[in-house]
Amino acid sequence: MFKSARVKLTLFYLAVLVAFSLTLTISFRMLFEREYVHSNAVERGEVRQLFINGYSTFFGRPASYSDFNNVQDDQTSLVRQHLNNELFAINLLALGVGGVLAYWFAGRTLRPIEEAHQAQARFATDASHELRTPLTNLKLENEVFLRQKHFSEADARDLITSNLEEVQRLEGLSANLLALTQYGNASLKLAPVVTKPLVEAALKYCHKTASARGVQLVNQAAEAQVLGHAESLEQLLAILLENAIKYGPENGTVTIGGRTDDGHYLLWVQDEGPGIAAHDLPHIFDRLYRGDKARSSKVGGYGLGLSLAKAIAAANNAEIRAENIPSGGASFIVRLPLVK
């Protein structure tokens, strides 16, 4: 589909180029005719007399005006032919070079659209899979339960508990999708925010999750004042901390640090896990993308946390990136503007 669109866009660019080239050529040709004829009219009187004198001396007979006009017409014809050849060569060269450039520009123009289309297709596939799994579980559990002729109150409670777990999974998925949409369209009111209480609030929020896995949370963030939205930035840090706790080893350490850097504040969260595979790094912030599927299936989740973190960062005029630590583990870095 995009190959056909690229060809059509290339032809459109070429049509614009040809129209511009023809307009320029015709304008130049008309300008030449006007200037050349005017120049000839001015010089014709002087040249005519020189021509007649020279003609009479060389041929031994007087020259007529028709002889002079024939020579002038031949000269004008040669000049016009030479000009036409030059203009044709220039237009042909412009068409060839323009065709290559038009094809390249068409590819550059369509690349973001193609990437967005691929991301949308991947998102639709992953979202349908994430939604289908809990719905399938709900359906199977209830069908099996209804086939039983006799069941106890305990059996009914177990079924309801399992159904609630699947409903909670669907609720979490829909809530994250809604949050992604809200932050993607939101225009947050940014104000000065002190980083110390922000970091402490995020650490407190993730304390239970860290304790359950025996993970120690270390705060090494220097205090600063950044421009942002406090509530959303707290959510962003909580997402990064929970992600580090989830993918890091049990009884390990997760470090949150921060420092000023050239008018910005770098805030990072590091874990001691296996890091991020090179082929996963470009897609780590994509919606519903989860690298290392086998490992992701063990830790659970929806693959929406980091996408939501990126959307929150963008809403706060901040940048976020992921990288591997040479000593082991992954680091997520948020670059926030300092208050001036």
Burial (0-12, 13-18, 19+ Cβ within 10 Å), 247: buried
Which pLDDT band, with edges at 50, 70 and 90, does 297 fall under?
very low
Least confident of 50-59, 71-80, 147-156, 226-235: 50-59
Cβ atoms of residues 14 and 103 within 8 Å: no
Say how far apart CA 87 and CA 1 lie, in whole Å.
Answer: 37
Which pLDDT band, with edges at 50, 70 and 90, does 79 fall under?
low
Q: Return the HEC string of 82-139.
A: HHHHHHHHHHHHHHHHHHHHHHHHHHHHHHHHHHHHHHHHHHHHHHHHHHHHHHHHHH
The per-residue pLDDT for range 80-100, each reduced to its tens digit, is 677 677 777 777 887 788 788
The 3-state DSSP class for residue 299 equals helix
Domains of the chain: 2-112 (no CATH), 119-185 (1.10.287), 191-337 (3.30.565.10)
321: pLDDT strictly greater than 60: yes
The per-residue pLDDT for range 159-180, each reduced to its tens digit, is 888 888 778 777 777 776 677 6
The per-residue pLDDT for range 248-282, each reduced to its tens digit, is 899 999 999 999 988 899 999 999 988 888 888 88
For residue 163, the Cα-to-chain-centroid distance in whole angstroms is 40
62: pLDDT strictly greater than 60: no
Per DSSP, helices labelled H in the chain are 2-59, 65-147, 153-185, 195-205, 207-212, 230-247, 293-299, 305-315
The per-residue pLDDT for range 212-255, each reduced to its tens digit, is 899 999 999 999 999 998 888 998 999 899 999 988 899 999 99
Say how far apart CA 49 and CA 68 lie, in whole Å.
Answer: 10
Which amino acid appears at position 103 of this protein? Y
**Residue in the structure block whose two tokens are 């659209």:** 113
